[in-house]
Every structure is written in structure tokens, then in C-alpha cells.
Amino acid sequence: MADVKTAPTWHGIPRQDIPWYPTVDPETCIGCTLCYTTCGRSVYEMQDNKAEVVNPLNCMVGCSTCATVCPVQAISFPDRDLIWKLEREHKIFKVVRQEAKEKMAKQEAAKARAAAEDAIAKLIIKTRFEVAGEFGEKRFLIQMEELIKGRPFDFVNLCLRVPTVQGAMEKTPAFMSFDVTSTEQEDIQAFLPEVRDLIRRNGLTLVSENKL
């Protein structure tokens, strides 16, 4: 479908019907560039060391910042009565109220989204443990199994690293890593102290614990 560009409006009034924009007196302008650098709407360009209004309808209706900051008062605007008259004539407040409603709804949605993202960020559904020590005759694995029996947790990606066969026979420390997860994609934070306790009860050393 073709991209249909709609003409800019100000609270329902076509922008081109609102003669609100700055006029620069070139005789007074000293070319300080303050209006040019202050305006964020590309209304001005500098030409021959003078400010020139090149995009008048980009000017924000009701704004007169550039005139306020001009050090030599070279910028003028129409009388503010013009805006008040337009507001009355076009009965803009019905439109304004609807716009306000939409803005508030957007703000509420953004707040709700931020709160949901915050809550998700605080959830822990997977944590990797790295443990060192002597794991014994499957003793630790059996206790892991008992710990999760009938519960919505699991130990996955188990990896046992034994430095050497000789070392294993001599019961030198081995290294194990595993991930603790929720089988229901729920927060596991309340379960993690039990895992730490299991490690401690088996005389193992918790090398690291990282949320994934």
C-alpha cells in the first residue's frame, strides 16, 4: 500500500492555517547563531551571517524561545491573541481531551510494560552452579534426584570433570557444573538455598553460582 503522508495538524487544525512562526529583522540581527542553535525544529538557517527563517511551519505553535533568547530582540512573533482566537474558533478542546486521553493511556501502558519487564528481570528461572570436591559413589547425584522428586525443578547440563583416572582412584577433587531450572518456567529463587545446603552437606565447595 502506498505511504500516504497526512498534512501536519495542531490539535486538529491544519498547521498551514496557523501563521505562527518567527520573523527576523535582518537589520537588527548580529548573526550570533543563538536562535539557529537553540531551535530543535530546523526552522532557521544562517546565511551571510544572518538568521533566516527557512521552514516557518516547522515552528511549534505557541513557542517563542528563540525570540526570548535573541540578545538584540531581532525576532518577533504574532500576538498571542492569534492562538487564543484559533483555539476558540476551532473548538479544539474536544480534540485536546481525546489527545490527552491517548497520551495518558500510552503513559500507563509504558509504565505497565516497564513494571512487567522489571518483574521478569527479577525472576530467576535458571542458575548455573560450579562445584568442586569429592563426589563419591554417585552419592551426590542420588541426593540431587531426591531433592527434586515430585517438585517442579530439575538439574540439567550436568558435567563432571575428573582431572585424571589416577586422581579419581586417589579421590582427588573433581569439578562439577550443572544448571538448576524450573520445569514450569517459574522463579527458582526459593529453591536455591536447598541446592546450596545440599552442596554444603556433602562437603563440597561452591565455586560459583550464576543466574542464566
Chain positions contacting ligand SF4, by CB under 6 A: 22, 24, 29-35, 38-39, 41, 43, 51, 59-60, 63-66, 70, 72, 74-75
Q: How far is the CB of 38 from ligand SF4 (least distance, A)?
A: 6
Q: How far is the CB of 50 from ligand SF4 (least distance, A)?
A: 7
Based on CB atoms, which residue is closest to ligand SF4, 28 or 210? 28
Burial of 187 (0-12, 13-18, 19+ CB in 10 A): middle
Q: How far is the CB of 116 from ligand SF4 (least distance, A)?
A: 36
Based on CB atoms, which residue is closest to ligand SF4, 56 or 133? 56
Burial of 130 (0-12, 13-18, 19+ CB in 10 A): middle
Based on CB atoms, which residue is closest to ligand SF4, 18 or 180? 18
Rounded Cα–Cα distance for residues 164 and 172 (Å): 9
Based on CB atoms, which residue is closest to ligand SF4, 31 or 136? 31
Rounded Cα–Cα distance for residues 82 and 29 (Å): 25
Beta-bridge partner residues of 180: 127, 155
Q: How far is the CB of 26 from ligand SF4 (least distance, A)?
A: 9
Give me the DSSP letters along 131-173: EEE--TTTHHHHHHHHHHTTSSEEEEEEEEE-S-HHHHHTT--
Based on CB atoms, which residue is closest to ligand SF4, 14 or 26? 26
Q: How far is the CB of 130 from ligand SF4 (least distance, A)?
A: 58
Q: How far is the CB of 211 from ligand SF4 (least distance, A)?
A: 47
Question: In the chain, where does DSSP find H-type helix?
Answer: 34-38, 65-69, 81-89, 93-122, 139-148, 165-169, 192-201
Residue type (1 letter), 13: I
Based on CB atoms, which residue is closest to ligand SF4, 60 or 147? 60
